[in-house]
Structures are given as C-alpha cells and as structure tokens.
Structure 1
Amino acid sequence: MTVLVTGGTGFVGAHSVVALLTAGHRVRLLVRDPARVPATLRPLGIESASIDVVAGDVTDPDTVAAAVHGCTSVLHAASVYSFDTRDHPRMRAVNVRGTEVVLGAAVTAGLDPVVQVSSFGALLPARQTPVTPDAEVGTPRETYLDSKAQADRVARRYQAEGAPVVVTYPLAALGPHDAYLGDQTTRLRNALRGLMPIWPRGGFPVGDVRDVARLHAAVLEPGRGPRRYLGPGRYVDTQEYLRVLRRVTGRALPAIRLPATAMLPVGALTGLVQRVTPVHLPAEYGAIYTCAVARPVDTTLTDQLLDGPTVPFERTVADTVAWLAATDHITPRQAGRLAAPRPAPFEHPVDGPR
C-alpha cells in the first residue's frame, strides 16, 4: 500500500511514518519544507531516500490532488498544535481548510482508507464519562480545540456519506524524539526547568506517541468503511503527572495545584499578553481549560485493535526525560537520575511494558 502522509515532519506524523514503513507500506510525504525531512526522520532510523517527498501545502488543492495521485490511502496528520495565541491565524487555516482539501481530494480519488488524525480535544467539553470515540463533536471555548472540532465535523460529514474515512483521536502525546518540541514535550520540559510552580487541578488523557503510531499502522485496512478510534493511553490527573515526574527524576519539583476554573482568567490574560511578546509564556489558557473539562476515556476499541500492550505512562515520561537530557534540551541536573551522556537510540516499544 502506498500511503500519502501529511504532517510527516511533526511529532505524531514522524513516528507514524516509522510504523507505516515497519508494516511494509510505501510512504509519500507532502511537506512544506523538504529540508526538514532528514533532520526529523534520521534520528528515528529512517533515511529520506527510502520515501517519496513532495513539496507543497495542505491548503493548496492542486498540490494535494497531485500528491494523492498514485496513492492507495492517506494519513492526514498535518496540523498546527499549539495553545499559543500567536498561532491562532495559522491553525484556523491549516487545521480546518487543510482537512477540507486533503479529505476531499482523497475521497474523490477513491483512496481507502482516508485517515484523519483528529484530537481528543475535538470532543471537549466532554458530555459523558468515560469519553468514547463516538461521542458528539464538542464546542470547546479555545481556538486550537475549536479548530480540531471543526475539522472533525468535516471528517464526520464524509463518514455520514459512506466514505471510508477513519478518524483517530490521539490523546496528549508524549515520548522521545520530538524534533521540534511540541506542546506536551515543552510543558514537561518547562516543569523540569522550574517554570511551572503552579498547576491546575483536574487532568487530561495522555498517550505514548509510539502507540499512536502503531494505531495509525493498524487502521490502514481497506474495505472496512468509516470508523473512529480514541488514541491509546489513559486519563492522568495533574497530581499523578507530577508524582510520576518526581519519581523518575528523583527530584522534588515543588508545585502547588489550584482549581482549574480559578486559573482560567489568568490563562486568558496570559494569552492576551502573549500576542505582543516574543517570549513564550507557559501559563496557557488552552492547557488550563483542557484540565477543567477533560474526562477519563474509554479506549476499548483501540486496545482490541492494537497487537500487544501499550507503553505504561511512567515509562513514557522516563523515556521523554531521558531523550530531552540526551539531546541537551535540559541539563543533567534538571534530568536528575535520567541524565544521559548521548542520544538514546530510537526504540519501538514492541516488547511492551518493562
């Protein structure tokens, strides 16, 4: 099977490329900047010569139509994932318009399956507990989450028409080898750097990026029609998040937790200030809002689909911290007992928990 992957230089996209190649698929990448491909995939053990790279933007219908030609399926992972208010215009364009263009071109070309990488955030605020993949699309009061909800409505419209669109809802993804330090990796890094002494109560679902990649390889089965899957993982309270981070690093990491609803005005004010300052401010409204409205998830369908156990949360955190230390994104002191002298090799967690 030849799979067109958008967003293949992103965190989830790059790990998914590894899983697809491991499963024996051929991969074509549609990327805005081909120069980013080697730097992103080489640390994962993939040489760019082994894949077909097409330069283009997911919002350009002509480029996308040319890219899907000759492919049998598509994994649309391109998205602007950020709670930074400076990214709002770009995420509105890419997350919604890009989904319209890519899914439209893929369905028109007869690809099967057409995989839309959404986000559990598209189902927020949660109207049921636990949250299932068939939950209603949410109406979140935050720009990034709202853009994913709008994109999800596009995908569900195609599903309602019978198109073979598969929607995955990754949880907050953590793990090693995040080439451009996405939102979740940056948040963990900021905690280790002492930049997050205050946390909201509540929590959010978290999954290992390598398990998300396994899910994307597993759903590439034609002829099964429309389907939806929550990403693998589980709900983690912020208290547990901090407790695990302290345990794997051996550090005290002092922090206080306040009601998320009480912190929302601070997050909103931070967002306004963020628009006019070049320095990233860690108290993001979107992250606080997520903790306020997220609920536990039911991943039964996903667990049945995947072959083998998923990565335990503590191992995910430990692998992420070790990678941050090995690549000099944090100091040995900040990594605590997980300080490493050299970059850790990529390891797909096929052996399960340890």
Structure 2
Amino acid sequence: MRLLLTGVTGKVGQNFLPAFLEADRFRDWDVVAICNNRTIPETGRLSVINGSIADPDVVGAAIEGATHVLHMAAVKESPDVCIDVAIKGIFLLLEAFRQSPDARQFILIGGDCSVGHAFQPYPGPVTETSPRKAYPGCYALTKVVEETMLEQFQLQYGLNGCILRAPWIMEKDDFRFALSFGEDQFGGPPWSEYMSDEDIERSASEGLVPMMIDRGGSPLRRNFVHVDDVVTAILAALDNPAANQQLFNISMDEPVDYGEMADYLRNTRRIEAKEVRTPLYSNWLDNTKARLLLGWRPKVDLERLIEMAWSYDRAADNPRKVWYPG
C-alpha cells in the first residue's frame, strides 16, 4: 500500500505522520508527500515530491502507485491563491485518483467552517446531514466546495471517499493563548470587534480570560478538538470499509462551554474571567456517527484540554505560528 499525503508539514500532518509510521497496522505501507512552501526529510518509507498541488505534473507524479490519499493541505484567508491551491488542487487530485488503477480510498480533512461554526445558527445539533452554511471569507467557501466536490466524485464515479470534518484543532498550549487578551493571542476572534481598546488592555494587564457570551445571553458553546484525537480518527478511518463514502464530524464529545471553562480556571488556578458579549451562536457538532461507525472516541475533554495547555512548556525555538497559506 502507498499513502499520498498533502499538508504533511501542517499541524495535523506533523502529528499524523509519526503516528502512522509507528502503527503496526500500517508497517508495510510507504508514504509519498507533496510539499510546497515547506518540506520534510525523506526516510526509508517516505519520499517527497516538491511542488504545488495546483500543478498537474506534480499531482500526476505523486499519484502514481498511490492506493490511498489523505488530503490535509488548506489555504486560509488568501484570496490570491485559494482557487488555484484549494479548488484546483483537490480537483486535480480527484481526477488523477479516480483514473488510477491502484486507487482505493481518498480521505479529506474538512472543517466546521463549512457549517459556519459559531457564525451560523442551527436549531439542534450539527450533524452530518445539517445544511452547509459557510461564514464569510474564502477559507470557509473552499471547505464547502472541497466537501461537495468529493461527494460528487463519489456519486459520479463510485469513488471511495471519506470526509473527516473537524472544528478548531488544538495542540500544545494553543488553547491557553486562544484565551489571551494580549498580543500573544493565538487565532481569534479579534477582541476589538467586541470590546473597547481600554477593556482589552485592562483585561490583558489583569491576566483575565474571556467568558464569551452568545447572542442569546448564555455562555458560548464552541467546538474544538485536540490534534491527538484527529490523528486517531484518521487512523480509524484509513482503509476502513465503514468509512466508504461517509462524512464524519470529528470533535470533542461536548463543545467547550465558556462558563464551565471560566469556573474551572477560577477554581484550579485562581484565574478570573472577563465577560465578553458577542453576536456568535452556540452550536454542538455531533460526533455520534464517528463513534458508532468508526469505533472512535475522543480522549480530550474540557478539563484535559485546559490541563494540557497550561502545563505545556514551549521551547524558545518552537514559536507558535499560523501559516498563511497552509
């Protein structure tokens, strides 16, 4: 078996590759990775093809002999390259894969931006049958198109595809700094959209964390997942007949409740919270289908997510970084 990887130098890819190579079930598989902006060293089981997935020659060379594809590459809010890389890239991969005599399975890592995460309302849990409602921006749009394109290739050509839809993926101390009011904040949202500059500065100086309030007046519930749980979900879906032409939500069993988060940090670390009113919606990404069909269970809940983030000691040569494009 031969696994083709895109996005191997990203957050999920860097955690998935060593887990895959160490897994006894895949010990006879080899790997080929397409690398563009960043690359990784080749090893005995790993070969690298340098170039863009928007280049048909690169994709053609990489797909040769590949039995499985794990497509993780993504472009964030970069309109100048999103069509070439995100849309053209997956089209070229799917076109080459469906025509390959070796093709067995195509896995796409999707995102809950395709269902709008906290920006779009849903009357109940967000399941795999909920309508796609992207929030504004090219990144969410490309994730909707990617999911739809793979599903259409499944319908048109009988391709064995699988979508693993994940919310915001956390690792190391990401969650701690996602809750920062300072310049070291990781990700979003921009507090300036909800607070005055004076409130932000005061909250940062006092070491507070945000207790976001949804538009209904309750503590926000927002979906997260730890990268370790994403990796185990990929390993569970890979070469698994139960994943054939399926879409799975891959998330924590419950969304993070910002009220419960604030209580836990107050009780365990004497960290106080600042109430932040937002126009966001509380949503619940339901992972029941993945637990039922894949036998997958996320291990990181809110308490463990906090403990892992606050106990992580980041080395000076390991900066927290968001890559745009990914």
What TM-score range do you get, normalising by the shorter chain? 0.7 to 0.9
- What pairs with 1:233-252 in structure 2 (closer than 5 Å)? 233=252, 234-244=254-264, 250=269, 252=271
Equivalent residue number for residue 132 of structure 1: 127
Tell me how far apart the structure 2 counterparts of residues 20 and 251 of structure 1 sit (CA, whole Å).
40
Tell me how far apart the structure 2 counterparts of residues 318 and 242 of structure 1 sit (CA, whole Å).
13
Cα distance, 1:253 vs. partner?
5.0
Structure 2 residue 307 is the aligned partner of structure 1 residue 312:
no
Contact 1:75 1:114 in 2 (8 A): yes
Equivalent residue number for residue 96 of structure 1: 87
SS of equivalent to 1:255: strand
The structure-2 alpha-carbon separation of the partners of 1:322 and 1:170, relative to structure 1 and needing over 3 Å to count, comes to same
Equivalent residue number for residue 53 of structure 1: 48
Equivalent residue number for residue 324 of structure 2: none
Tell me how far apart the structure 2 counterparts of residues 6 and 188 of structure 1 sit (CA, whole Å).
30
The structure-2 alpha-carbon separation of the partners of 1:19 and 1:330, relative to structure 1 and needing over 3 Å to count, comes to closer
The structure-2 alpha-carbon separation of the partners of 1:308 and 1:145, relative to structure 1 and needing over 3 Å to count, comes to closer
Contact 2:251 2:285 in 1 (8 A): no
Tell me how far apart the structure 1 counterparts of residues 318 and 64 of structure 2 sit (CA, whole Å).
43
Contact 2:265 2:271 in 1 (8 A): no
Which amino acid is the alignment partner of residue 15 of structure 1? Answer: N
Structure 2 residue 161 is the aligned partner of structure 1 residue 165:
yes
The structure-2 alpha-carbon separation of the partners of 1:136 and 1:91, relative to structure 1 and needing over 3 Å to count, comes to same
- What pairs with 1:1-354 in structure 2 (closer than 5 Å)? 1-23=1-23, 24=26, 25-33=29-37, 35=39, 37=40, 48=43, 50-81=45-76, 87-110=78-101, 111-124=103-116, 125-161=120-156, 162-176=158-172, 187-188=178-179, 193=184, 197=200, 199=212, 201=214, 202-221=220-239, 225-233=244-252, 234-244=254-264, 250=269, 252-258=271-277, 260-261=278-279, 292-293=280-281, 295-304=283-292, 305-307=294-296, 310-323=299-312, 325-328=313-316
Which amino acid is the alignment partner of residue 222 of structure 2? Answer: F
Tell me how far apart the structure 2 counterparts of residues 191 and 239 of structure 1 sit (CA, whole Å).
21
Q: Could you give the per-residue CA deviations for residues 214-270 of structure 1, whole angstroms, max 9, x where no partner exists? A: 11111112655311111131312333344445566x252542211x22xxxxxxxxx
Cα distance, 1:316 vs. partner?
2.4
Tell me how far apart the structure 2 counterparts of residues 79 and 105 of structure 1 sit (CA, whole Å).
19
Contact 1:232 1:302 in 2 (8 A): no
Cα distance, 1:191 vs. partner?
6.2
The structure-2 alpha-carbon separation of the partners of 1:160 and 1:26, relative to structure 1 and needing over 3 Å to count, comes to same
Tell me how far apart the structure 1 counterparts of residues 81 and 257 of structure 2 sit (CA, whole Å).
31
Contact 2:229 2:298 in 1 (8 A): no
Which amino acid is the alignment partner of residue 164 of structure 1? Answer: N
Equivalent residue number for residue 269 of structure 1: none
Contact 1:123 1:136 in 2 (8 A): yes
SS of equivalent to 1:144: helix
SS of equivalent to 2:60: helix
Cα distance, 1:130 vs. partner?
0.7
Tell me how far apart the structure 1 counterparts of residues 93 and 282 of structure 2 sit (CA, whole Å).
29
Tell me how far apart the structure 1 counterparts of residues 265 and 7 of structure 2 sit (CA, whole Å).
29
TM-score, length-scaled by structure 2: 0.74
Tell me how far apart the structure 1 counterparts of residues 222 and 74 of structure 2 sit (CA, whole Å).
20
Name the structure with the higher helix share: 1
Cα distance, 1:172 vs. partner?
1.2
**Range with bigger deviation, 215-224 or 51-60:** 215-224
SS of equivalent to 1:117: strand
Cα distance, 1:126 vs. partner?
5.0
Unaligned 5+ runs, structure 2: 192-199, 201-209, 215-219, 320-326
Tell me how far apart the structure 1 counterparts of residues 183 and 311 of structure 2 sit (CA, whole Å).
12
Cα distance, 1:203 vs. partner?
3.3
Contact 1:164 1:223 in 2 (8 A): no
Cα distance, 1:330 vs. partner?
10
TM-score, length-scaled by structure 1: 0.69
Contact 2:110 2:164 in 1 (8 A): yes
Tell me how far apart the structure 1 counterparts of residues 107 and 168 of structure 2 sit (CA, whole Å).
18
Q: Could you give the per-residue CA deviations for residues 9-54 of structure 1, whole angstroms, max 9, x where no partner exists? A: 101122222332233243221111454x25xxxxxxxx85552211
User: Identity, % of aligned pairs?
Assistant: 21
